[in-house]
Amino acid sequence: MKSALVVGGLVVVVTVAVAGVSAVTQVVSQDQAAEQARAMGVSLTCNASLGPISAGPAGSGAADAAKLNEDQRENVAMIIQIGKERQLPPLAWQVAIQAGMTESGLRNLDYGDRDSLGMFQMRPSMGWGSPEQVKDPNYSIRKFYDVLEEVPNWEQQRPGESAQDVERSAFPDRYHKWEPMAAHLIGNVGLVPDPTGCGEGTGLLVPAPTKAAGAAIQWALGQQGKPYQWGAATTHQNSFDCSSLMLQAYRSAGVTLPRVSRQQYRAGAMLPVEEAQPGDLLFWGYDTSNPDTIHHVAMYLGDGKIVEAQQTGVPVHIRPVRWGEPELMGQAVRPGV
């Protein structure tokens, strides 16, 4: 950061990007995305006329995010957590991530230009706080949000523009570089499919192949954190095993599935697993040439992620999946088709 803590003044009005962001799942409708956002306690406002905020080639955000180390990811998680606590929209999280990545690589530096310090390179001499404070990520993130909220019309700008309004850098265009990565992170770490509620995806995102698949995805994501229980009843949502989670998710969308994973394997259209789309079911068997050995099922979310009820002691969660990983069956199944 190169100048004083001044946030009033000129705000460049642009006609680009504040609408959707990359996510762990695909967006299928404005109502469904808004519903999930409301359940998370995030206040969203759709501004579809401005378009998506994830620039750059498809997949570029995911590739950059994969290079972050544990400390950088912890700082991203803290940015998102504090943003949620303050009931700031996901766009604010994206602004902070882009600023932090540009200024310090999302690291809490004890050095910088002149007396700049910390993740956002705040200068104590310019009134940002003491050296100890600006090096404390909890303080610096909250301070960043304090200043961002004072920027006129920041929610109507491209996130890099708002980052510049806070940082007042001599190189104002550099914040845009990290737009795809930040969008990917607020989707994958913040778990927000469509932060504006506009129902439009970006980057790698494509619509779910059926409306039922989209509804099933949203229902399954809403069960995250609930415990695994083998043989869980399908008449309640207090706990799940792998197949009861799939059964109830699709039941909520009006599609009936059999109870166990081996039966669910035969309950829809089959396609090569590498061609799986959001909402399709993936299966694992002890012998991938024999469907009778199937012992696990999960729902594909797109972008190399699944949601599953895995095993005792592990709550419903999202995890990455690799084509060709051990025991993954070669066919995915599309229920209701």
What are the sequence ranges of the domains in the chain?
30-188, 211-335
For residue 171, count CB atoms less than 10 angstroms from its CB and return exposed for 0-12, middle for 13-18, buried for 19 or more. exposed
On the question of pLDDT at 219 being above 50, the answer is yes
Which pLDDT score, from 0 to 100, does residue 155 have? 82
Give me the catalytic one of 74, 308, 317, 327: 308
On the question of pLDDT at 239 being above 80, the answer is yes
Distance (Å, whole) CA 133 – CA 218? 40
Print burial letters for 204-213: b (CB count within 10 Å at least 16), e (below 16).
bbebbbbbbb
Give me the catalytic one of 70, 184, 242, 325: 242
Which pLDDT score, from 0 to 100, does residue 102 have? 93
Distance of CA 247 to the CA centre of its chain: 25
* Mean pLDDT computed over 224-249: 94
pTM reported for the whole predicted model? 0.47
Confidence band (pLDDT; 50, 70, 90) for 247?
very high
Of the listed ranges 117-126, 137-146, 270-279, the one predicted with least confidence: 117-126
Give me the catalytic one of 176, 179, 200, 296: 296
8 A C-beta contact, residue 191 and residue 319: no
303-317 residue pLDDT tens: 889 999 999 988 899
* Mean pLDDT computed over 7-25: 30
On the question of pLDDT at 228 being above 90, the answer is yes
Which pLDDT score, from 0 to 100, does residue 62 have? 76
* Mean pLDDT computed over 17-26: 29
**Residue 50 or residue 156, greater confidence:** 156
Instruction: Give the E-state strand segments of the chain in sequence order.
Output: 268-272, 281-285, 294-302, 305-308, 317-320, 331-335
Which pLDDT score, from 0 to 100, does residue 193 have? 55
On the question of pLDDT at 271 being above 90, the answer is yes
8 A C-beta contact, residue 121 and residue 109: yes
Which pLDDT score, from 0 to 100, does residue 1 have? 53
Please provide the average confidence, as pLDDT, over all residues in the chain.
79
8 A C-beta contact, residue 13 and residue 162: no
108-131 residue pLDDT tens: 988 888 888 888 998 888 888 899
Report the topology of domain 211-335.
Answer: endopeptidase fold (from Nostoc punctiforme) (3.90.1720)
Catalytic site includes residue 308: yes
**Residue 89 or residue 283, greater confidence:** 283
Which pLDDT score, from 0 to 100, does residue 168 have? 87
Return the percentage of the chain with pLDDT > 70, whole number.
77
Confidence band (pLDDT; 50, 70, 90) for 56?
very low
Which pLDDT score, from 0 to 100, does residue 327 have? 96
8 A C-beta contact, residue 302 and residue 205: yes
8 A C-beta contact, residue 244 and residue 310: no
Confidence band (pLDDT; 50, 70, 90) for 202?
very low
Catalytic site includes residue 46: no
Distance (Å, whole) CA 150 – CA 127? 16
On the question of pLDDT at 154 being above 50, the answer is yes
Catalytic site includes residue 242: yes
